Amino acid sequence: METIANKKIVIMGGTGFLGKFLIKQLLDSKANVILLSRNTSMLSDFYEATISGQLTIINGDVLDKSFLQNSINKVDSIINLCGILYENKSGDFDRVHSDLPAMLGEISTEKKIKSLIHVSALGVFEKSKSSYSRSKASGERRLLENFPKGIIMRPSLLFGKGDNFFGQFSEMASISPFLPLISGKTKFQPVFVNDVAKSILNVLFKKNNKSSIYALGGNYSYTFENLLKILLKIKGIKRFFIPLNPNLMMLPALFLERLPKPPFTVDQMKLLKHDNILNGDLPGLKELGIEPSDMEEELIKIYSK
C-alpha cells in the first residue's frame, strides 16, 4: 500500500459527521486535503491545518460539474461523503446520491485519478420502496460504470460524539419523560465513526482490494429498542417508550416532511420497516485489518455522568 503522506486528496461532504473524523485522520497521516464545500465552518475546526496549507477549502456547488472539473486537478484521490436524509425539493436524492457519484466517476476516468472512494449506506438497492435507498444504489452502480476501480463503502448506523442517532435521542431524553419507539424491533449493526474513517484510509491506495464494495458494521446487531435502553442505562435515567408503527406514522410524516428540517419523513418510515445489518456476503472492517470498536464502551465515554 502506498503511503498517504503528501498525497493530494479531494473530499466532498467533509463538513458532516463522518467528514470531520476522516479529515482529522487524513491530516494526522500528513495528507494534503482539499475540501470542496459551500460551508466555511471547517476553517475554525482545523485552523492550524488551513494556515499551514495542509487543508485547502474551496467554496462552490459540488453538484455543478464544471466546478468539480475546475477544482479537481492533479490530485491522487477523491472521497465522496455527500448524503442527505431528506429532500428539500423533489429530485434532491437523485441529484446528491446518484448524479454526483456518476459525475465523479466520469471525472476520475477523465483525469486518471488513482482512487475514488464513495460512502454509500448498508442495505440499499434499486428496487426499494424508499427513494433514499433507490438513489443510493443507483449512485453506486453509475459510479462503477464510469470508474470500474472505484470503491464503495456501505456503513450501517454510524455512532460517535455528535452522531444523528444517539445524540438526538440523548437530547430528547434530557427534556422529555417519553421517547418515541418507531419500529422497535428493527435491527441495526452500529459502527463507530472512527472505524469507518480508518477503513477509508486503509483502502485509499491499497492495491488488489478484495472487493469494490465493503459492508461496514460493528460486532453485534441490536433492535431499535435495545439501542435506546443501552443509551438510557449509560445516562443513568429512566424514560417511558411510546411504541409507534411505521405504517401508522406515514400520515403525520406526510405533513412533518414539509418542514425545513423534518423530525421524520415518509421515506424514513419505509426504511425503518427493514433491518440494517450485515449479511456476510461482502468484506468489511476485519478484512481491512480493523477490529470493530465496542459500542457500549464508546458510548460510556460520551454519555456517562
Give me Rg for the CA atoms of the chain.
19
Sort 94 into a burial class: Cβ within 10 Å, 0-12 / 13-18 / 19+: middle
Residues pairing with 36 in the sheet: 12, 58
| pTM: predicted TM-score of the whole model, two decimal places | 0.94
Determine phi and psi for 211, rounding to 5 degrees.
Answer: -155, 160
Q: Inform me whether the pLDDT recorded for 261 exceeds 90.
A: no
Which CATH superfamily, name and number, covers 8-159+189-220+276-292? NAD(P)-binding Rossmann-like Domain (3.40.50.720)
102-120 per-position pLDDT tens digit: 999 999 999 999 999 999 9
Determine phi and psi for 281, rounding to 5 degrees.
Answer: -80, -25
- Gap between the Cα atoms of 302 and 305, Å rounded: 9
CA distances to 41, 139, 164, 188 from 134, rounded to whole Å, are: 31, 9, 21, 19
125-175 per-position pLDDT tens digit: 999 999 999 999 999 999 999 999 999 999 999 999 999 999 989 998 999
Contact status, residue 288 vs residue 202, Cβ threshold 8 Å? yes
Write down the pLDDT at residue 11: 97
Q: Where are the domains of the chain?
A: 8-159+189-220+276-292
List CB contacts of 77: < 8 A, sequence separation 6 or more.
Answer: 7, 8, 9, 10, 113, 114, 115, 116, 117, 204, 205
